[in-house]
Amino acid sequence: MRTRAKDQEAAEAAVAHLLTESLLMIRYLAASDGDRPVPDNRHQEQVRTLADLCHNLPAWLDPTIAG
């Protein structure tokens, strides 16, 4: 396998891992812990930031993708 193909494969695996971890963190931050019925403002802001990153990441990595 050529080096460029290996680099592309490694980058795709890293992005997939990043998206998976981000979605798990979003679920964790958005979940109620029993003491609070809804996430507090700090958690809501973190969720929005992670969601924006996940949404925009493909276009940032490949500008030919329409957003």
pLDDT at 28: 87
Q: Is the pLDDT of residue 63 over 80?
A: no
Burial string for 28-52 (b: 16+ CB within 10 Å, else e) reads ebeeeeeeeeebeeebeebbeebee
**Inter-residue contact 15 to 61 (CB < 8 Å):** yes
User: Domain coordinates of the chain in residue numbers?
Assistant: 3-61
pLDDT in tens, 10-56: 888 888 898 999 999 988 888 866 666 666 788 889 989 999 988 88
The answer to whether 46 touches 29, Cβ cutoff 8 Å, is yes
User: What's the pTM?
Assistant: 0.67
pLDDT tier, 58 (very low <50, low <70, confident <90, very high otherwise):
confident
pLDDT at site 39: 64
Contact 65, 59 (CB under 8 A): yes
